[in-house]
Structure 1
Amino acid sequence: MLPELLLKVHRIHDWVTELLQRSQGTFLFQGPWFASMDFLVTADPANIHYIMSSNFSNFPKGREFKEIFDVLGDGIFNSDSDLWRSQRKAAQMLMNHQKFHQFLVKTISVKVGKGLIPILEHVAKEGKAVDLQDLFQRFTFDSTCILVTGYDPGCLSIEFPEVPFSKALEDAEESIFYRHVVPERVWKLQRWLGIGEEKKMKKAKETLDRIVFEYIQKKREELSKGIQGERRSRRCGSINIIHE
């Protein structure tokens, strides 16, 4: 199966979709013996529900998964057992909250109305070509940042500004794909030496950490200014009452 993968790697997503369609939703990919490339790929809703919900405890991610996806830290996508349950419970409480739903709808509506549609109208009027994948990545990135940190990075604009965070995510994804292809000892040696794909992964992690910290810090400053402004308003109101 490896030769066909190498021939189709430039269109990997389309190729996997075609394989799943031909195999009725579930496909077993077997790579060479020296690589960690044996995958059971499924898009069958019943299988996904069985793995992710009804029998989740039978499918732990394990140490190897956590090491390969170390960029995700100890979050819900990397955790197992009690840690996963506690994070899942917290996420469900947040996503099921009425105010979160209202904030989600408002955020998406604003981004569509003031970001996505104006850009599409502009490129249509100017007769320009636009990379829809890049456009929707910017839309998703801005919306997610607002929902998670409360800060809008403004990547979805007519100027199409450079997005270091998005580039770092792409580099991390490529490095993770590489870790699935080569033997574990190879990429761990590269990580120790600081070369190749592991050098790219290290830089991507540093960029992701730096930008997330900046967004959180900006939101804290906004909240701090808001609290201080509210206190000043209260003090001024109290002074006016005393004066009267």
Structure 2
Amino acid sequence: MNAHDNLLRNWPVLGMLPGLLVEFHRIYELSVEILRSYNLTFTFKGPWYSGMYMLFTVDQTNINHIVNSNFSNYTKGPDFREVFDVLGDGILTADSELWKNLRKASKVMFSHKGFQRLLMSITRRKINDGLIPLFNHLAEEGAVVDLQDVFVRFTFDTTLVMVTGSADPGSLCVEMPEADEFAKVIYRHVKPRFLWKLQRWAGFGQEKKLSKADATLTRMCSEFISAKR
């Protein structure tokens, strides 16, 4: 019997969620322990109708099979695109031929020396003007920070500058303004579909915030496009 079998017992209605919540304060350590115990692959069964039936794997053979040798068999599908509708029809939500075409185009762009020089310049500037001052401030204040939030902001700022050629939006700075609404879209994975769809239709809760964030991004992109014409 596996040491984690009792902790991750699949209860009626609630699934394995109760055991996960008990150990949620050490979720990263728990994830490593579980994957080691279950031969690097584990199926998590969440509450009924929650959309939390998930397969986790760190087995290199499985990963190669899924993302390389048999990628076409593992389409994201319309449900994934609906959950991440804020990403549009880009490479992160595309499947089949569209994904292949976008991947080819991205590969050409990423391998271009001009792009690589631009990427290095923008990244270095963001490190010097954003990341280092923030870490210095946190060290002086003795404050705790969520590094995932920090590097999501870092990625957002550098990507926006690179794609649009605009000024740094400054989401990564000492003040750390609220700028994570799109990151919160992941909550749709753990909430029953009919609930977040109802929130979106009625315009309240997290969906209301996402709608505002989507409108803001659309407005910004429109301004960038107009400025380049």
Normalising by structure 1, report the TM-score. 0.72
- One-letter amino acid of the counterpart of residue 129, structure 1: A
Query: What is the CA distance between 1:196 and its match in structure 2?
Result: 3.9
- Whole-angstrom CA distance in 1 between matches of 2:100 and 2:208: 33
Shift of 1:88: 1.2
Q: Distance in 2 between matches of 1:99 and 1:70?
A: 31
Q: Which moved more, 1:24-33 or 1:66-75?
A: 24-33
Rg bigger for which structure?
Answer: 1
- State how many pairs are aligned: 212
Superposed CA deviations along residues 159-198 of structure 1, whole A, max 9, x for unmatched, are x2524xx232233233x233xx42x334333433334443
Question: In structure 1, which of residues 104, 115, 131 is the aligned counterpart of residue 145 of structure 2?
Answer: 131
Which one of 198, 206, 213 corresponds to residue 215 of structure 2? 206
Alignment counterpart, residue 189 of structure 1, candidates 191, 198, 217: 198
Q: How does 1:94-105 map to 2 (within 5 A)?
A: 94-105=109-120
Q: CA RMSD for the aligned pairs?
A: 2.8
Match of residue 173 from structure 2: 157
Is 2:85 the counterpart of 1:86?
Answer: no
**Identical counterparts, % of pairs:** 43
CA separation in 1, counterparts of 2:215 and 2:208? Answer: 11
* Alpha-carbon separation, structure 2, partners of 1:84 and 1:15: 34
CA contact under 8 A between 1:171 and 1:200: conserved in structure 2?
no
Q: How many angstroms does 1:12 deviate by? A: 4.9
Code of the aligned partner of 2:125 = V
What is residue 238 of structure 1 aligned with on the other side? none
Write the deviation string for residues 183-219 of structure 1: whole angstroms up to 9, x where unpaired.
x3343334333344433433332233234444x24xx
Kindly state the Cα deviation for residue 56 of structure 1 after the two structures are TM-superposed: 0.8
* 2:91 pairs with 1:76: yes
Rounded Cα–Cα distance in structure 2 between residues aligned with 1:122 and 1:208: 29
Unaligned runs of 5+ in 2: 1-15
Q: Secondary structure at the match of 2:201?
A: helix
Q: SS at 2:56's partner residue?
A: strand
> CA deviation digits over 1:25-82, x for unaligned, max 9?
3211122444432111123333222211211111111222222222222111111112
The DSSP-based 3-state class of the residue aligned with 2:152 is helix
- Aligned residue for 1:237? none
After TM superposition, what 4+ stretches of structure 1 lie above 4 angstroms from structure 2?
A: 8-15
Matches within 5 A, 1:1-244: 1-9=16-24, 12=27, 15-124=30-139, 126-133=140-147, 134-151=149-166, 152-158=168-174, 160-163=175-178, 166-174=179-187, 176-178=188-190, 181-182=191-192, 184-214=193-223, 216-217=224-225, 221=227
Distance 2:106 2:117 in 1: 16
* Whole-angstrom distance in 1 between the partners of 2:23 and 2:218: 33
Is there any run of 5+ residues in structure 1 with no aligned partner, and where?
225-244
C-alpha distance in structure 2 between counterparts of 1:91 and 1:8, whole Å? 40
Using the TM superposition, give the Cα deviation of residue 103 of structure 1 relative to its aligned residue in structure 2, in angstroms.
1.4
Structure with greater proportional helix content: 1
